[in-house]
Structure 1
Amino acid sequence: MKEIITLILEDILLPPCGSLILLSIAYFIRNRFKRISKICFASGILSIYLISTPFFSIVISTPLMRAPSIENNIHLISAEAIVVLGAGTRSSAPEYFGNDTIDGHALDRLRYGAFLNRKSGLPLLLTGGFTGSTTSEAEAMNHTLEDEFNLKARWLEKKSINTKENAAFTKEILFNENITQIILVTNSYHMRRAILEFEAVGFEVIPGPTHPRIGGALNLLSFIPSGRSLHLFKSYAHEWLGIAWHYVNK
């Protein structure tokens, strides 16, 4: 319930919903408070424009994606395990004959975790609990790992529902095995917050980001609003809020 309330508040406060609230305020006070109405209207329009542009997506996501990729020297890395973070499940997927499965981000992470496992021989831990499905994220990932990659995780962490709990419950498993050095696999934009949470509980983290940022030059299209940029903004803004919340509760 707490997670649901947090997501609702996040959606209300952040654009585009927050921008629409500003525009609504501007409309209803336009006769009595003209100056404030103009400020609210301009702020609403400007915020909707900014969050819809690729340029703004680059600005707010670049600091999130600074973790370097693991290059072709994994045999030199002193990690003891690979930890793959869950990213949601799809319940009763019809194309999989009604079985639960993992979503796209989770598949990206799992595929990279399998790749690193084959290259390094390090054991896999999959972490993720029940988020609206009858199958935990960890179990769904392990089913995919077995069926499609012919691999099996050594450990499944099935209780966590957020990144903070991913770290805490993974610690309970791996510290009992005297494992403190890990390769952490998650999306590049999520890596900064994930590292904060895992280091906070005592892990030494080697980042294993998926889809790392590859530099590109700005052009005219960078300033033209797009639906993709609007979609990406929510993911990036969610990460910044999570980072801020981590420090507030530190």
Structure 2
Amino acid sequence: MFFVLSKTLGMVFMPINLLIELGVVGILLLATRFASLGRKLLVVTMALLALCGFAPLGSILIYPLEQRFPAWDAARGAPDGIIVLGGPIDADLSEARNTPVVRNAADRLFATAALARRYPNARVVFTGGSANLIAVDAKEGDYAATILEGLGIAKERMIIERQSRNTQENAQFTKAIVDPKPGERWLLVTSAYHMPRSMGLFRKAGFPVEAYPVDWRVGGRADLLSFNKLSTDGLARTETAAREWLGLVAYRLTGRIDELLPGPGKD
């Protein structure tokens, strides 16, 4: 039920979708005796869309998420394993074109390949199925091995988990497959903005991992005062940040994570 609600209500209440919905309501009201309200609603909607698109709102929302976990300290020694979360691969498009298609967060795959070369004895786990509400045959995991092998990782080193639909299942299913032993050290590779929620879920699953953030969207504090040249950049960043913050709130309220904003120092 949680998964269904996250895919339905979550989509409806995403900021950009919500603003478009309000705009449509405003247009419909223009043909009624509430035309004045419709015009006001359209003005407010356009103003908020401009704020999300051109103002640094998205950067402001993403920055504290990306700053939560520092870069991994290699001085601690070689890890026993490397876990990379799904998300970069468009499984539906890959199936349609019969070739792996990477659309977002490719840094997750690049960083995993670099780590695998640096630590040749570490096992490599890719975890990701399909996040679609309606079940489909196309899974990210079906194409991950091809990509990672092309990046230089031997197939026999890989473990592919292809059933998980969200980050909570990433954590649960990966733990079940890996069965980590006491004292083993596992790295978790995912986008920096997604790391707090991911770490919280892996901790809740009883799988202690070390954060290896990648795929940053905000460069530094200066970006918090910089307006976007293209509205699409700002809208995308705002949408990403809103999805992550809403996810953190929802997971905390339902007890799926123990803190609203998980941080370092608990592994």
* TM-score normalised by L of structure 2: 0.77
Is structure 2 residue 159 aligned with structure 1 residue 149? Answer: no
Partner in structure 2 of residue 136 of structure 1: 139
Which residues of structure 1 form unaligned runs of 5+? none
Partner in structure 1 of residue 44 of structure 2: 43
1:15-30 correspondence runs (5 A) = 15-27=15-27, 28=29
Partner in structure 2 of residue 99 of structure 1: 98
Q: CA deviation at 1:176?
A: 5.4
Q: CA deviation at 1:163?
A: 0.5
Amino acid at match of 2:46: I
Q: 1:188 aligns with which of 169, 192, 195?
A: 192
Amino acid at match of 1:168: Q
Say if 2:105 and 2:215, in contact at 8 Å, map to a contact too: no
1:229–1:151 CA distance, 2 compared to 1 (3 A): farther
**CA distances 1:183-226 after superposition (whole Å, capped 9, x unpaired):** 11011121121111111112223211112342152598616651
Partner in structure 2 of residue 119 of structure 1: 118
Partner in structure 2 of residue 237 of structure 1: 242
Q: Structure 1 or 2: larger strand share?
A: 1
Q: CA deviation at 1:80?
A: 2.8
1:206-221 correspondence runs (5 A) = 206-212=210-216, 213-215=218-220, 217-218=222-223
Secondary structure of the corresponding residue to residue 209 of structure 2: strand
Say if 1:54 and 1:224, in contact at 8 Å, map to a contact too: no
Partner in structure 1 of residue 232 of structure 2: 227
Amino acid at match of 1:237: A
Amino acid at match of 2:245: W
Partner in structure 1 of residue 74 of structure 2: 74
Say if 2:50 and 2:231, in contact at 8 Å, map to a contact too: no
Say if 2:117 and 2:153, in contact at 8 Å, map to a contact too: no
**CA distances 1:76-115 after superposition (whole Å, capped 9, x unpaired):** 2474311001113344659xx9424142335421211111
Q: Which has the higher contact order (CA 8 A, sep 6+)?
A: 2
1:106–1:135 CA distance, 2 compared to 1 (3 A): farther
Residues of 1 paired with 2:249 and 2:225: CA distance?
Answer: 32
1:195–1:150 CA distance, 2 compared to 1 (3 A): closer
Say if 2:180 and 2:207, in contact at 8 Å, map to a contact too: no
Greater displacement, 184-193 / 150-159: 150-159
Is structure 2 residue 172 aligned with structure 1 residue 168? Answer: yes
Across the aligned residues of Structure 1 and Structure 2, the Cα RMSD in angstroms comes to 3.2
Say if 2:111 and 2:214, in contact at 8 Å, map to a contact too: yes
Which residues of structure 2 form unaligned runs of 5+? 256-267
Percent of residue pairs bearing the same amino acid type:
24
Say if 1:188 and 1:211, in contact at 8 Å, map to a contact too: yes
1:55–1:172 CA distance, 2 compared to 1 (3 A): same
Say if 1:49 and 1:225, in contact at 8 Å, map to a contact too: no
Q: How many residues align?
A: 245
Secondary structure of the corresponding residue to residue 10 of structure 1: helix
Partner in structure 2 of residue 86 of structure 1: 86
Residues of 2 paired with 1:220 and 1:158: CA distance?
Answer: 41
Greater displacement, 9-18 / 82-91: 9-18
Q: CA deviation at 1:241?
A: 1.5
Partner in structure 1 of residue 261 of structure 2: none
Residues of 2 paired with 1:65 and 1:165: CA distance?
Answer: 22
Partner in structure 2 of residue 9 of structure 1: 9
Say if 1:100 and 1:135, in contact at 8 Å, map to a contact too: no
1:182–1:39 CA distance, 2 compared to 1 (3 A): farther
Secondary structure of the corresponding residue to residue 190 of structure 2: strand
Say if 2:56 and 2:224, in contact at 8 Å, map to a contact too: no
